[in-house]
Amino acid sequence: MPRHPSRPAQDALTLTPIALTRSCFRDKFGVPRQPGLTRYAHAELVIEPPYDREDAFRGLESATHLWLTFQFHEAVRAEWRPVVRPPRLGGNRKVGVFASRSPFRPNSLGLSVVRNRGLSRRDGRLILNISDHDLIDGTPILDIKPYLPFSDAVPEASLDGPTARPLSGCRSRSCQRQNNNSRPSRLRITRTCKT
């Protein structure tokens, strides 16, 4: 399969992470393949200076969901391939990289919709709490935007073929938030991640 050299980001664009993820998913092999498949999987986005100003997040509390742009930091490669074998297809079928959600992309960028759980401060650090995510521990967050239901939801959108069917849910164990101060108000049995 032909490989094509990737251009280092500094040759084209410099992106600075605005946050780092503290997640209950420790490695890429235990992560759900899409956000929203693991309800109640919590994570913290630790906002980096100089972006850790509460003014930068003013109004975000009105958004129930957020778009996160991030780097697939454990999938960065010197070269990229035009076709990939997505795990959703059992690794048996090749599709074009731009027709997949494979992390092995020319720019190693990902996009997820997550639930907004609000801002907090701990040890002087500003933290954006999220849930229903698919991020591994240490994932660099490059941008945060509110999800706008009136324009971001496309009810008539469709996708044919085997990639169209969602999984029945994550098969991992319960995820506990890393914040020792937060406790669930009642016990729920869920299919989420394990810390």
CA distance 91 to 74: 19
**Is pLDDT above 50 for 136?**
yes
**Is pLDDT above 50 for 181?**
no
Mean pLDDT of 19-40: 68
pTM of the model: 0.72
**Percent of the chain whose predicted confidence (pLDDT) is above 70:** 65
187 occurs within a structural domain: no
In this prediction, residue 183 carries a pLDDT of 34
183 occurs within a structural domain: no
125 occurs within a structural domain: yes
pLDDT band of residue 110 (cuts 50, 70, 90) is: confident
173 occurs within a structural domain: no
106 occurs within a structural domain: yes
Beta partners for residue 126, in sequence order:
121
89 occurs within a structural domain: yes
Q: What is the CATH number for 86? A: 2.40.30.70
**Is pLDDT above 50 for 195?**
no
185 occurs within a structural domain: no
CA 22 to chain centre: 12
CA distance 107 to 121: 32
pLDDT digits (tens, 9 = 90+) for 62-90: 999 999 998 887 777 778 889 988 766 66
CA distance 124 to 129: 15
Three-class secondary structure of residue 128 per DSSP: strand
User: Which residues span the domain enclosing 130?
Assistant: 4-164
Q: At a CB cut-off of 8 Å and minimum separation 6, what does 63 contact?
A: 116, 146, 147
* Contact between 81 and 4 (Cβ < 8 Å): yes
- Number of independent structural domains in the chain: 1
